[in-house]
Amino acid sequence: MARIAFIGLGNMGGGMAANLVKAGHEVAAFDLSPQALDRAKANGCTLAADAAEAVKGADSVVTMLPAGKHVAAVYADSVIPNASKDAILMDCSTIDVATARAVEAQAADAGLAMVDAPVSGGIAAADAGTLTFMVGGSKDGFAKAQPILEKMGKAVIHAGDAGAGQAAKICNNMLLGATMAATCETFALAEKLGLDPQVFYDISSKASGQSWSMTSYCPVPGVGPETPADRDYEGGFAAALMLKDLKLAMEAAQAAGAYTPMGGEAEELYQRFVDRGGAGKDFSAIIKMIDDTWKAPDEG
Enzyme catalytic residues: 169
- Work out whether 15 is an interface residue with ligand NAD (CB under 6 A): no
Question: Minimal distance in Å, beta carbon 68 to ligand NAD?
Answer: 9
Candidates 75, 87, 122, 213; binder of ligand NAD (CB under 6 A) is 122
Question: Residue 23 or 67: which CB sits closer to ligand NAD?
Answer: 67
CB of 66 to ligand NAD, least distance (A): 5
Task: Tell me how far, at minimum, the Cβ of 227 lies from ligand NAD, in Å.
Answer: 15
User: Looking at 115-123, 202-210, 251-259, 269-277, which segment touches ligand NAD (CB under 6 A)?
Assistant: 115-123
Contact 141, 90 (CB under 8 A): no
Of 106-114, 119-127, 217-225, 262-270: span binding ligand NAD (CB under 6 A): 119-127
Q: Which of residues 24-63 bind ligand NAD (CB under 6 A)?
A: 30-33, 36, 51
**Minimum separation from the CB atom of position 102 to ligand NAD (A):** 16
- The answer to whether residue 66 forms part of the interface with ligand NAD (CB under 6 A) is yes
Between residue 92 and residue 111, which ones bind ligand NAD under the rule CB under 6 A? 93-94
Q: If you write DSSP's letter for every residue of the chain in order, what string do you get?
A: --EEEEE--SHHHHHHHHHHHHTT-EEEEE-S-HHHHHHHHHTTPEE-SSHHHHHTT-SEEEE--SSHHHHHHHIIIIIHHHS-TT-EEEE-S---HHHHHHHHHHHHHTT-EEEE--EES-HHHHHHT-EEEEEES-HHHHHHHHHHHTTTEEEEEEEESTTHHHHHHHHHHHHHHHHHHHHHHHHHHHHHTT--HHHHHHHHTTSTT--HHHHTS-SSTTSSS--GGGGTT-SSSBHHHHHHHHHHHHHHHHHHT---HHHHHHHHHHHHHIIIIITTSBGGGHHHHHHHHHHSTT--
Which of 123, 175, 240, 262 forms a contact with ligand NAD (CB under 6 A)? 123
Measured from the CB of residue 276, what is the shortest distance to ligand NAD in angstroms? 21
Residue 133 binding ligand NAD, by CB under 6 A: no
Using CB under 6 A as the criterion, which residues of the chain lie in contact with ligand NAD when the complex forms?
7-13, 30-33, 36, 51, 64-66, 70, 74, 93-94, 119, 122-123, 237, 241, 244
